[in-house]
Structure 1
Amino acid sequence: MEPARLALIRGGTKDGPRSTGSGYLIGPRLVLTARHVLVDRETGEPWPKLSVQIGHPAQGPTRTAKAELLWTPPDELDVALLRIDQAMDIPGSVLWGRPAGRAPLPYAGLGYPKAAVVETREVENLRGTLSPLSGSGRHYVLDQGPAPEPGADGRNAWGGVSGAAVFCGHRLVGVVVQEPAAYGARRLLAVPAHSFAQDAGFLNHLAEHACALSELAAIGVPAPRAAPGTERTPAERALEQLLRPLFADPAARTAHARELAGELGYETADYTPTAADLVTLLLAHPRAHAALGQALAARAVDQAFRSCLTAFLTQARVLGRGPFLAPEEFDDLLYLLRGIRDEQSALLPQAARDALPYAALPGCLDRPRIEEHELADAVEALEELPDGEGIPEGSPPVPALLRLVEYVAAAVDGERQHELRAWSKRTADRIGIHGDALAERRMDAARWAERRRNSLVSRVVMELERDGAGDGDRYACRILLVRTDGTHRILKSPSSEPKTPREAASALAEAVGAARQEPGGHDHVPWVTVVVDRPGLHLAVDEWESGAPDDLLPPSPIGADYQLSLSCPDLDRLVATRGQDRERRWKKGRTSVVVTEPSCGDRDKLMHLLRTEHRDTARVVLHGPADQRQAWLEACLAYGVPVVLWDRDATGYDDADRLGELAPSDELDGLAERVRVFRSRTAAHPEERRARPSLVWEPEGSYPRTEQLHLRDPWRGTHAS
């Protein structure tokens, strides 16, 4: 890494810079950086003005040049090449590399993060550990040493380091592109150099500018050695004592240590480890102690050895020595979960929320579905969570991950179930979990799966609350799946940031997709209940459109896709008898209907009608003056009428026939579907619009109440720039 090649990149318009990032000079006129630094995020177009400052300001004067976007990969990988308008005379050339093996590598880089702003942007020396075992393989995971707090504006602390070159030793191995918000500035992601360095366009540009690409040399890590005895920590000495009973034969210890070092990706030439070296190896790699435990488990032929091994593994976890799965166990589980996710992408998040209701789950499990590239991070996060005490008392506690695996296994059939349960049993035996404890988790999982199969999702509930503190049309949004047995499950959003109508509709579409993956949900047209407060009853939620997934399918109103109705449970707090009245009307008045006509008179006469001859009626169709509709609607709901239909575009009684196509007085059970079909036809033929129907449908039984929605402004964005 050569500080003189550091680049500060600014993009913008004639009115000034709009984007700041980092880069690295890889040729006299070529700067490597992240693509998103160079483009307007709103339009996707490159900034018309790009400038680059070359050099480290602490090591002498820097030079500024104009630049143009020269190359981006055809597969939209987040890297780019800039060509500056003057050549920089910097001796030497860039060496390229690729991390090899599984051992964590120290890395370094230089960039201009927002957190390092004093009067101007200052340079930060990025440093930490690159772990080849973390992530999905599409990015390198960089665990940071320095981890600044986010700024007062909530933006990413590392904003500005996107485009920084990542070095392992003297070789460039990647480009920083992202800061995952969930890790609190402790982690960055980088695009691997090998993913773009063989692109023909990239190589042609390097050849044209006389800076040929060196071989991407494999970068390994020598096996770690122990420090002198006086410098070793109490934890190191404690682990060495726990290891002694496991290796009565020093030659066996040496053989195990060499084999373990090779399995973990370290270079083992001339590696003859002592007991202290083995401890150092165990502390250096996050999965080393688990891998050693897996190898030793095969030798646990007597109870004394088994007890010593369990004590070692337990103490290693108490000391915080990383995850409990060995590399092979981790890879096998990912393979099994990927196959299940491909068929049921909603199963893993659902099982996690039901199996671990009080755990702080990773963000990827707080959404209706999980993506394939998120599986590894999810498993790593779950490895750190306990589940409960051991059975019998004093045995090792069961990890939360094993409970989740048992729940997922119970929800699938055939070979997948057998393979997951076999994996769980092998892993539990290896780490010393008592058989009774695992059997207890398996029984819990079986009962959960049985309830899941026998209690279908009856409706999807979306709670909305307008963001009174913000500007524009934004809402707090929570989505629940309500089952036929009255239970419900909250599908937590990635954040509680207020959503636009389009964002709320998109979140709903994702939740409906998860509901359709539930047992029996594939062919069902979902019933969506939108919960609003009294002012929210006028919202045209049925006309909100979710974002189209691609150009092939145009956006569609959610009221055309789902049986969508409104609910206002807030009125229950204002009218104590409303719930009882509603249940009575459902039981006695399903076939009765009130259609308001001029003879109904004003609001007081309507209320009298609902108190007397229509005391049990379950349905009201509201016609009449638009300026009185809200008062009439609230009167109906206050008296417990569960179903109210009206045309929000109607101005008076003369518009009553506009709802005729819906047959509002016909069979009640088919009304919601008739409304959906009408909305769908209207969306397809907007020129023929006759009405804009709104439907309140208060469900039978008690509404699943959740805590009040609270709006907050979370950290925004994911890019590091």
Structure 2
Amino acid sequence: MDPRRLVLIRSGTTQLRRHVGSGYLVAPRLVLTAGHTLRDAESGACWEEIRVRVGHPGRGETLRTGAELIWTHPLDLDVALLLLHDTVDVPGSVRWGHPVETAPLRYEGLGFPLASAEDSRDAEHLRGVLPPLSSGARGLYVLDQEPAPDHRDDGRKAWGGASGTAVFCENHLVGVVIRDDQSYGNRRLHALPAHRFIQDDGFEALLRRYDGGPPRLAEIGATLPTARPAAERSAAEQEAERLLWSLLGGRITYAAHARALVRRLGYSVPDSHEVTVPDLAALVASHPRALPSLSTTLAPALTGEGERTRLTDVLTRARAGGLCLLLSLDEYEHVLELLRGICEEQPTLIPRAAREALRYVWLPEPLNRTHLCAEDLEHVVEHLESVSDSERVPDGTPPVPALLRLLECTAAALEEKSGTELRNWCDRVAARTGIHSVALAERRIDAGRWAAQRPSPLSRVVVEVSRAWTETRESYYCRITLARADGTHTPLHEAESAPRTPEEVARRLRDAIEVVADETGPAAVPHATVLVARDSLHLPVDEWNPGAPNEFVPDQPIGAEFCITLSCPEMSELVRGREREHRRRWESGHAGPLVVGDEPVTPPRLRRLLQTTHRDAVQVVLHGRPEQRDALLELCLALGVPVVLWDRRADCPADGTGLQQVDPTGPLAGLPDRVRVFRGTAFDDPETVPARPALVWEEHSLGPRPESLTLQDPHEGAHAS
């Protein structure tokens, strides 16, 4: 990789720059990049003007010139060649490579992501690991990026502009970055492999013309890690070596296991190659599945109880120290194969099992959706490998991983053949890692109880919002749960998030609402209840805009897309008997609503109305001045009125006409949806429709919550078999 060949690409119209991308000079006048950086996403047409800057901005002189698109792939692969208006002579030439082994390779590249932009685009040194086995049916390379940006507050992609970055492994150009993968928290990119496009006749002809010869593709593989001098070894290598010596010290048979491990991980070594313990430690420190894979062949050879205990201890300490993952390479590949079949046949099963069986575990984002896609399985498995479900297990044996609990629940809900295969996989992993048979058996019993239950359907999303006053910008803490028809609640996101902007809260709320929408079906408009303190009833949560859900659908406020209502549970803590009055009004038969504001109404008069002529009223419509309205609103909530509607922007009783389109005194059941439709109209035409309706809608009590499953640990004192 030569920084002098780095290219910044700006494309658009003659009046306006519309897109930024990255590229790499592969010949004196040819730039390799991603095809989509040169096209209008809406029309598909190529931009009329392309300007480039060749060279690293921090490593000497750069050249600015124009360029034109001269080649795209005939099968619409996302790759292109630009022809520069000027010739750029850079010493050396590009070597093309094709990874052919299975061992992960180190990669690097230079690009211009939006995350690195301040006054102008700065170059970013991309680097990380390319795991060839993670390439799926689409034939793209996976790039696990080490330094990675956070998601942006403005909704724009932090990796925007990195498309077109040339990817290098072992000093060979092996691919081109074409997109990011937000499912992995902005830490994963995807690249189009070079071997898929350099043999195209058009591409080869251009390289012959401008570079003097065709591209030559070399097969490359990862270099087997070897031990550095003792003084230069990293802390991870030193710890790995200590653990391996405690396990292998004095044994003369480990060499065969080490050689089998090296080959299984995808490295090519001759039969005569001897892997020393320090070399093995270097491999363990660089490959997260090396130690579990070594233990797969080593465990059956350890016949003594003390040796087997040491292996379990080494695996436990290595996982705790971040030296390895839970699963060996074979176990990992096998479970992915099993789970892909489950995702195809029952895409809702695994997320449902995770939310119920792992309700106290911070779940990865794909499990917070109703349907799990096969392409998200790697992320889910790798996340849960590092999570244990308990600390209390027999005789100091390792805790049961959350992954095994989830798979036991999944197996319990499957047909006998599929369930047995998954349980057998769990048995083998537990035996290798030293997990107590009693501990796994109790998880299996719990799983059977869970599978026998019929979950109540989801009804709505409940989100608790509170202001983060210590933040300089407007930020909120939010806690999101799914409410079921039987009154139970299942946490969907972390118990208490970091402070979020209104836009970020709206995005999380939209994602949660879509989970409910998947289960309730397309007929019902999803409903979200926002829990706020009484001093936050004025918050315009319904106006918070999560941004466009995709590149085709325009953005709109969250309250125009879904039914967003408020609730103030704090009132029940402050007013004794409020819950009883709240329940009585719902059960009273829905008397006509009380409209307040046509004439001056004081708090004492409103209290008499709500306790006499409107004692059974479920709904109050509030007009009037804000300073009066706030006091009347709190009084309505204190007296157990479950539905209150008002206009946040109203300054006087006359402004009450702004809510007429909502039909505030119409059928109560349709009020939330009428408010939702009105919010959409106000968003489209804010000058003509100035009203901003706020709606408190507190659900009827659904009765006591049923007792949840007891997913407990084995009794203390159980003995290992």
- TM class by smaller structure: 0.7 to 0.9
Structure 2 contact 143–189 (Cα < 8 Å) conserved: yes
Structure 1 contact 162–176 (Cα < 8 Å) conserved: yes
Displacement after TM superposition at 1:205 (Å): 5.4
Displacement after TM superposition at 1:31 (Å): 0.8
Report the counterpart of residue 672 of structure 1 in structure 2: 669
Structure 2 contact 140–190 (Cα < 8 Å) conserved: no
Is 1:396–2:393 an aligned residue pair? no
Is 1:498–2:498 an aligned residue pair? no
Higher RCO structure, 1 or 2 (CA under 8 Å, sep 6+): 1
Is 1:256–2:257 an aligned residue pair? yes
Structure 1 residues 183 and 491, CA gap change in structure 2 (3 angstroms):
closer
Structure 1 residues 290 and 66, CA gap change in structure 2 (3 angstroms):
same
Structure 1 residues 570 and 57, CA gap change in structure 2 (3 angstroms):
closer
Is 1:330–2:332 an aligned residue pair? yes
Is 1:54–2:59 an aligned residue pair? no
Report 1:166-315 matches (<5 A): 166-176=167-177, 190-197=191-198, 202=203, 206=207, 209=210, 213-226=214-227, 234-235=238-239, 237-244=241-248, 250=253, 253-276=254-277, 277-299=279-301, 303=305, 306-315=308-317
- Equivalent residue letter for 1:238: R
Report the counterpart of residue 417 of structure 1 in structure 2: 419
Structure 1 residues 531 and 186, CA gap change in structure 2 (3 angstroms):
closer
Displacement after TM superposition at 1:433 (Å): 0.8
For residues 350 and 248 of structure 2, the distance between their equivalents in structure 1, rounded to whole angstroms, comes to 41
- Equivalent residue letter for 2:669: A
Report the counterpart of residue 28 of structure 2 in structure 1: 28
For residues 124 and 595 of structure 2, the distance between their equivalents in structure 1, rounded to whole angstroms, comes to 71
Report the counterpart of residue 380 of structure 1 in structure 2: 382
Residue of structure 1 aligned with 2:440, choices 427, 431, 438: 438
Structure 1 residues 630 and 154, CA gap change in structure 2 (3 angstroms):
closer
Q: What TM-score results when the alignment is normalised by the length of structure 1? A: 0.74
- Equivalent residue letter for 1:590: G
Q: Deviations over 1:434-482 (max 9, x none)?
A: 111212333444455556x344323323556799999999988654311
Structure 1 contact 457–481 (Cα < 8 Å) conserved: yes
Structure 2 contact 319–386 (Cα < 8 Å) conserved: no
Report 1:35-50 matches (<5 A): 50=50
For residues 509 and 111 of structure 1, the distance between their equivalents in structure 2, rounded to whole angstroms, comes to 32
Q: Secondary structure at the match of 1:294?
A: helix
For residues 259 and 647 of structure 2, the distance between their equivalents in structure 1, rounded to whole angstroms, comes to 77
- Equivalent residue letter for 1:241: W
For residues 301 and 619 of structure 1, the distance between their equivalents in structure 2, rounded to whole angstroms, comes to 73
For residues 403 and 261 of structure 1, the distance between their equivalents in structure 2, rounded to whole angstroms, comes to 31
For residues 560 and 63 of structure 2, the distance between their equivalents in structure 1, rounded to whole angstroms, comes to 59
Q: Deviations over 1:13-68 (max 9, x none)?
A: 77897876542111232212345665789999876654333346788654332123
Displacement after TM superposition at 1:432 (Å): 1.4
Q: Secondary structure at the match of 1:267?
A: coil
For residues 470 and 43 of structure 2, the distance between their equivalents in structure 1, rounded to whole angstroms, comes to 28
For residues 246 and 550 of structure 1, the distance between their equivalents in structure 2, rounded to whole angstroms, comes to 62
Report the counterpart of residue 711 of structure 2 in structure 1: none
Displacement after TM superposition at 1:7 (Å): 2.7
Q: Gaps spanning 5+ residues in structure 1: where?
A: 665-670, 705-721
Structure 2 contact 562–676 (Cα < 8 Å) conserved: no
Displacement after TM superposition at 1:166 (Å): 2.0
For residues 405 and 657 of structure 2, the distance between their equivalents in structure 1, rounded to whole angstroms, comes to 62
Q: Secondary structure at the match of 1:398?
A: coil
Structure 1 residues 59 and 338, CA gap change in structure 2 (3 angstroms):
same
Report the counterpart of residue 529 of structure 1 in structure 2: 529
For residues 382 and 172 of structure 1, the distance between their equivalents in structure 2, rounded to whole angstroms, comes to 34
Matched-pair identity in %: 43
Displacement after TM superposition at 1:309 (Å): 3.9
Structure 2 contact 68–82 (Cα < 8 Å) conserved: yes
Structure 1 residues 263 and 522, CA gap change in structure 2 (3 angstroms):
farther
For residues 283 and 293 of structure 1, the distance between their equivalents in structure 2, rounded to whole angstroms, comes to 15
- Equivalent residue letter for 1:193: A
* Higher mean C-alpha deviation, range 414-423 or range 106-115: 106-115
For residues 514 and 154 of structure 2, the distance between their equivalents in structure 1, rounded to whole angstroms, comes to 35
Report the counterpart of residue 82 of structure 1 in structure 2: 82
Displacement after TM superposition at 1:257 (Å): 3.1
* Higher mean C-alpha deviation, range 42-51 or range 306-315: 42-51
For residues 385 and 543 of structure 2, the distance between their equivalents in structure 1, rounded to whole angstroms, comes to 42
Structure 1 residues 215 and 640, CA gap change in structure 2 (3 angstroms):
same
Structure 2 contact 52–65 (Cα < 8 Å) conserved: yes
For residues 302 and 633 of structure 2, the distance between their equivalents in structure 1, rounded to whole angstroms, comes to 73
Report the counterpart of residue 715 of structure 1 in structure 2: none
For residues 128 and 697 of structure 1, the distance between their equivalents in structure 2, rounded to whole angstroms, comes to 50
Report the counterpart of residue 714 of structure 2 in structure 1: none
- Equivalent residue letter for 1:619: V
Q: Secondary structure at the match of 1:374?
A: helix
For residues 46 and 12 of structure 1, the distance between their equivalents in structure 2, rounded to whole angstroms, comes to 9
For residues 611 and 658 of structure 1, the distance between their equivalents in structure 2, rounded to whole angstroms, comes to 29
Q: What TM-score results when the alignment is normalised by the length of structure 2? A: 0.74
* Higher mean C-alpha deviation, range 644-653 or range 602-611: 644-653
Q: Gaps spanning 5+ residues in structure 2: where?
A: 705-721
Structure 1 residues 27 and 230, CA gap change in structure 2 (3 angstroms):
closer
- Equivalent residue letter for 1:672: A
For residues 152 and 591 of structure 2, the distance between their equivalents in structure 1, rounded to whole angstroms, comes to 61
Report 1:501-650 matches (<5 A): 510-515=511-516, 526-531=526-531, 541=542, 565-569=565-569, 571-572=571-572, 575=575, 578-587=578-587, 589-596=588-595, 602-603=601-602, 605-615=605-615, 617-620=616-619, 622=621, 635-644=635-644
Displacement after TM superposition at 1:372 (Å): 3.6
* Higher mean C-alpha deviation, range 388-397 or range 114-123: 114-123
Structure 1 residues 633 and 293, CA gap change in structure 2 (3 angstroms):
same
Structure 1 residues 47 and 2, CA gap change in structure 2 (3 angstroms):
same
Structure 1 residues 121 and 579, CA gap change in structure 2 (3 angstroms):
closer
Structure 2 contact 647–656 (Cα < 8 Å) conserved: no
Structure 1 contact 476–499 (Cα < 8 Å) conserved: no
Aligned-pair Cα RMSD in Å: 5.6
Displacement after TM superposition at 1:399 (Å): 2.6
For residues 197 and 23 of structure 2, the distance between their equivalents in structure 1, rounded to whole angstroms, comes to 16
Report the counterpart of residue 668 of structure 1 in structure 2: none
Displacement after TM superposition at 1:424 (Å): 1.6
Structure 1 contact 382–401 (Cα < 8 Å) conserved: yes
Displacement after TM superposition at 1:515 (Å): 2.6
Structure 2 contact 530–565 (Cα < 8 Å) conserved: yes
For residues 127 and 539 of structure 1, the distance between their equivalents in structure 2, rounded to whole angstroms, comes to 42
* Higher mean C-alpha deviation, range 148-157 or range 313-322: 148-157
Displacement after TM superposition at 1:325 (Å): 0.8
For residues 318 and 443 of structure 1, the distance between their equivalents in structure 2, rounded to whole angstroms, comes to 27
Displacement after TM superposition at 1:672 (Å): 1.9
Q: Secondary structure at the match of 2:394?
A: coil
Report 1:476-495 matches (<5 A): 479-492=480-493
For residues 150 and 692 of structure 1, the distance between their equivalents in structure 2, rounded to whole angstroms, comes to 30
Q: Deviations over 1:607-631 (max 9, x none)?
A: 312123443x142364988998877
For residues 60 and 422 of structure 2, the distance between their equivalents in structure 1, rounded to whole angstroms, comes to 60
Q: How many residues are aligned here? A: 684
